[in-house]
């Protein structure tokens, strides 16, 4: 049977991907951040998931204000890196797992989660940067990837409670897939950051560390946190953190294996946590 054995929460800052692409990771500015990623890279090289479900948000790349799915699952055999204005990132195409992705859609929709089915979905930095953080620059990504896009950029975004419940339903759906697969789920985005307005550049380290702590110490606090609190405490884009709660809900009795946190990465607090299911 398939099983979600682990979860990773990580920021998906585009500049981190650019640092990898341009070979800048040894520079003074970037080195401390990438040193912090080393243990996570060693961990995933040993863990070797067959499939990564990557929960991320599209930043007006595959979708626009014309069409705003709350939750969309990519069921295609391949997803191309999106052109976000500078040409697509020169990273390998992302290989999907159509059979498991369709199984997820069927199981979730019949379980009353109204998922949008995406047969074509270019994937932006929200998905490709976490892959670079975990796998660096391989010829091909070493796992199949199921993209799960969540609307966190246009009000009204889904609540933390809904995201956590979706994670729980994903855990059940994967467990009922009749093939031996080791699955890792990534929740991406955040941590604290605000890209526009008077508070642009806001980083709240205390909020971010408490968020990392409470993924295992007090998940109820995070699950019940409202959008207004994310906005006030972690900036307008800090609300991307609700996607980590989908990852959290998909794990059984999660145990923390590793974390790293570094400021600054572009204009954000960059965090990463590795959790394993019991």
The two tokens of residue 58 are 């599209």
Give me the catalytic one of 103, 193, 227, 262.
193
In the bound complex, what is the minimum distance in angstroms from residue 125's beta carbon to ligand DHB? 6
In the complex, which residue's CB is closest to ligand DHB? Answer: 266
Tell me whether residue 167 or residue 189 sits nearer to ligand DHB (CB atom): 189
In the bound complex, what is the minimum distance in angstroms from residue 134's beta carbon to ligand DHB? 16
Q: With the C-alpha atoms ordered 249, 250, 255, 261, is the resulting torsion angle positive or negative?
A: negative
- Contact positions vs ligand DHB (CB under 6 A): 12-15, 59, 189, 193, 195, 237, 240, 266-268
In the bound complex, what is the minimum distance in angstroms from residue 242's beta carbon to ligand DHB? 13
Give me the catalytic one of 125, 227, 258, 262.
125
**Which helix (H) or strand (E) covers residue 175, if one does?**
helix 160-175
Q: Is 264 left (phi over 0), alpha (psi -120 to 50) or beta?
A: beta
Q: With the C-alpha atoms ordered 149, 191, 49, 25, is the resulting torsion angle positive or negative?
A: positive
Tell me whether residue 14 or residue 92 sits nearer to ligand DHB (CB atom): 14
The two tokens of residue 194 are 């605000």
Residue count of the chain, please give it.
Answer: 278
CA distances from 115 to 8, 19, 135, 159, 205 (A): 22, 34, 28, 15, 34
Sequence-distant (6+) residues with CB within 8 A of 210 are none
Tell me whether residue 74 or residue 190 sits nearer to ligand DHB (CB atom): 190
Query: For residues 129 and 84, what is the distance between their CA atoms, to the nearest angstrom?
Result: 13
In the bound complex, what is the minimum distance in angstroms from residue 154's beta carbon to ligand DHB? 14
The two tokens of residue 204 are 């709240």
Sequence-distant (6+) residues with CB within 8 A of 180 are 1, 2
- Strands 181-188 and 2-10, by their bridges, are parallel
Q: Catalytic annotation on 258?
A: no
Tell me whether residue 59 or residue 89 sits nearer to ligand DHB (CB atom): 59
In the bound complex, what is the minimum distance in angstroms from residue 30's beta carbon to ligand DHB? 14
Tell me whether residue 70 or residue 267 sits nearer to ligand DHB (CB atom): 267
HSE-CB at 271 with a 13 A cutoff on CA atoms is 29
Q: Catalytic annotation on 193?
A: yes
In the bound complex, what is the minimum distance in angstroms from residue 265's beta carbon to ligand DHB? 8
Tell me whether residue 266 or residue 277 sits nearer to ligand DHB (CB atom): 266
The two tokens of residue 276 are 């394993």
Catalytic residues, by residue number, are 125, 193
């Amino acid at each position: 049977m398939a099983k979600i054995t682990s979860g990773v929460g990580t920021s998906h800052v585009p500049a981190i991907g650019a640092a990898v692409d341009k070979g800048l990771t040894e520079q003074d500015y970037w080195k401390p951040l990438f040193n912090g990623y080393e243990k996570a890279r060693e961990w995933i090289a040993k863990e070797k998931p067959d499939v990564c479900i990557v929960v991320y948000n599209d930043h007006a790349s595959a979708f626009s204000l014309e069409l705003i799915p709350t939750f969309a699952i990519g069921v295609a055999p391949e997803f191309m890196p999106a052109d976000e204005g500078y040409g697509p990132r020169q990273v390998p195409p992302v290989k999907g797992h159509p059979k498991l992705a369709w199984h997820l859609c069927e199981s979730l929709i019949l379980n009353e989660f109204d998922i949008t089915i995406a047969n074509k979905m270019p994937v932006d930095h929200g998905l490709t940067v976490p892959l670079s953080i975990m796998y660096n620059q391989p010829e091909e990504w070493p796992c199949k990837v199921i993209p799960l896009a969540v609307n966190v950029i246009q009000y009204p975004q889904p609540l933390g409670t809904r995201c956590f419940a979706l994670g729980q339903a994903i855990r059940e759906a994967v467990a009922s897939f009749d093939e031996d697969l080791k699955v890792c789920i990534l929740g991406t985005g955040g941590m604290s950051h605000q890209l526009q307005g008077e508070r642009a550049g806001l980083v709240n380290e205390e909020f971010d560390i408490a968020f990392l702590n409470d993924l295992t110490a007090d998940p109820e606090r995070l699950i019940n946190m409202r959008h207004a609190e994310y906005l006030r405490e972690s900036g307008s884009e800090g609300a991307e953190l609700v996607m980590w709660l989908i990852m959290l809900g998909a794990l059984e009795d999660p145990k923390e294996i590793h974390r790293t946190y570094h400021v600054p990465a572009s204009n954000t607090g960059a965090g990463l946590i590795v959790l394993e299911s019991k």
